[in-house]
Amino acid sequence: MDAPARPWPPPLGTYAEERELFRLLQNMLKELLIHKPNDPIEFMIDHLKQHNDDGSKWHFCEFFLSRSRSVKKKAPRVCVLGPPASGKTTVARWLCKHLGAIRISRETLLSKGISALVKEAKAYKERNQEIPNELWANLIQKRLSNVDCIKQGWILEGFPENQEQAWMLQSSGIIPRHVVVLYASDTVLIERNSGKRLDPITEEVYHTTFDWPTDPLVQQRLVKPEDLSEQDMSKKLLEYHRNFPEVFQIYQKVLKLINADQPSMDVLSQVLTCVRARHRSAAPFTPRVLFCGPPGSGKSLQAALIAQKYSLVNICCGQLLKEAVAGKTKLGELVKPYLDSGSPVPDNLVLKILTERLSALDCMTSGWVLSGFPRDRGQGEQLQNSQIIPNRVFFFHLPHESIMERLSQRRVDPITGERYHSIFRPAPTPEIQARLRQNPRDEEENIKQRVETYDRNAKDLEDFYEDAFYVNADQDPHVVFEFIESCLIKPIPFKKVKGLE
């Protein structure tokens, strides 16, 4: 939530956030640190000029190509990790099938290749010696530099297993976007290991208890893989638990833990959701928060709470118009007849007043929270065309019965201006109770009309703000506030730039 030391004018801040300039600079710096060129300037110029034809610079080129107009989506770069028998192979195969990516594992690296590196690795294996980490890293780097991995993306299964392997991958420029780590109790994993069966034709993995094939022909040809004994399995699990914390520290910003001790489809669904999710940027930004919702959903209360805690400028569109009239400004004089007659204020006048207020120094420096505008897609588009682009949008959802209960029971003390509610905040004395009045806007018929107007436009407005958060407003205000706050304090999510998709 930290704003820049010097406020950016709204168009500049929006441009920087939408084009992910902070992330662009981060990636440029990362490539320099990985490759350590003698002439950094020439290195960057050379890479920026290149296209995807040069496989040796695959990682850097892929990033810049992904920002071009021709690239529709980023190729997946995923590591699937976990202890033995946690289901890494099943998950990796399933991801490749659904994402069109290339599966990379120790087995595939050694079975499909005749290079000197592969021959060297096989020689170690034939001598029953452990293949060095550096050799594995070189094998992976060479395979991932191929065109199919660059264009389709890759799923790296079971690697890295320790800190040294992770550092070697990073020093080779192999940096996954997502790291999925499967976990289950040791008892479950040992039981799984003993029941595994392999189809030698399809290489599909089955289990005698949890996943037995229905086809009798497949059942007949299943073989027991050369897996670990229970004693060896226990040693492997112990080694995994010793090494995992270090791997976690390296990948903690992109790592997702998923419980593998549940139905396979639930595991696969969670994994797919994880790898399709866009990471959030660590870029500093000035909060520009928009609250949308039906009348009575609590927008004003939440805006006041958020503004107070985070020192944002709280702007209610209706109140802003009244202040313009009270201040007798030129725009206020134009707005006054509409407010006096109860007619809607034209959008062009509202936008002029909003733009003027949101461009003020306090809004540019501290950020703002806006409610009451826009109320339909057309107004949202006008707001965007005026370079007023929120980086957090919340839609409050509330059942009609709750709206009616909240608004129809509201009353105002004409002497003090204090608001009361016959159920949630009754007047403290019979004397005050006797003089309370109802605002005509809170009569049931008027409430229904206002809600119907909101409902007519809500769907289109939600479609326009596709990255919005949705708030269940039919609960305690403190619970609502905590949810909103949790979405605000996270770094801003990456946004797709229209015209660059």
- Please write the tens of the pLDDT for every residue from 257-275: 999 998 888 898 899 888 8
* Identical topology for domains 73-276 and 288-489: yes
> Are the C-beta atoms of 460 and 377 separated by less than 8 Å?
yes
- Using a 10 angstrom Cβ sphere, with 0-12 exposed, 13-18 middle and 19 or more buried, the burial of residue 482 is exposed
Least confident of 43-47, 94-98, 129-133, 181-185: 43-47
Weakest mean pLDDT among 80-84, 202-206, 287-291: 202-206
CATH of domain 73-276: 3.40.50.300
CA dihedral for 314, 319, 321, 323, sign (positive or negative): negative
pLDDT of residue 58: 41
C-alpha dihedral (297, 298, 300, 304), degrees to nearest 10: -160
- Tell me how far apart the alpha carbons of residues 144 and 35 are, in angstroms, rounded to a whole number: 17
* Structure tokens that stand for 155 in this block: 């799923």
The pLDDT value recorded for residue 501 is 40
Residue ranges per domain, the chain?
73-276, 288-489
Q: Which CATH class is domain 288-489?
A: alpha beta
For residue 160, the model assigns a pLDDT of 93
CA 248-254-260 angle, 5° bins: 65
Rounded Cα–Cα distance for residues 192 and 90 (Å): 13
Peptide bond into 374 cis (omega under 30): yes
Contact 491, 282 (CB under 8 A): yes
User: Average of pLDDT values for 475-500?
Assistant: 71
Lowest mean pLDDT segment, chosen from 70-74, 143-147, 315-319, 418-422: 70-74
pLDDT of amino acid 56 = 38
Q: Which of 72, 499, 492 is CA-nearest to residue 280?
A: 492
3-state secondary structure 370-435: EECCCCCHHHHHHHHHCCCCCCEEEEEECCHHHHHHHHHCEEECCCCCCEEECCCECCCCHHHHHH
Contact between 158 and 176 under an 8 Å Cβ cutoff? The reply is no
**pLDDT more than 70, % of the chain:** 84
Residue 227 binned pLDDT confidence (cut-offs 50, 70, 90): low
Model pLDDT for residues 86-115, shown as the tens digit of each residue:
989 889 999 999 999 999 998 888 886 678
Model confidence at 492, pLDDT cuts 50, 70, 90, reads: low
Q: At CA 197, angle to CA 193 and CA 200, rounded to 5? A: 135
Q: What is the mean pLDDT of the chain?
A: 82
Q: What is the pLDDT of residue 11?
A: 57
Task: Confirm whether pTM is higher than 0.85.
Answer: no
Give the separation between CA 15 and CA 387, rounded to whole angstroms.
Answer: 10
DSSP code of residue 368: E
Rounded to an integer, the average pLDDT of 106-134 is 86
Contact indicator for 485, 306 with CB cutoff of 8 Å: yes
The per-residue pLDDT for 60 is: 41
| pLDDT at 5 (0 to 100) | 44
Rounded to an integer, the average pLDDT of 147-170 is 91
Q: Above 70 in pLDDT, residue 279?
A: no
User: What are the DSSP calls for 189-256, one per residue?
Assistant: HHHHHHHEEE-TTT--EEETTTB--S-HHHHHH-B------HHHHHHHHHHHHHHHHHHHHHHTTTEE
Q: Taking a C-beta distance cutoff of 8 angstroms, is the pair 66, 500 a contact?
A: no
Q: Which position has the higher pLDDT, 371 or 29?
A: 371
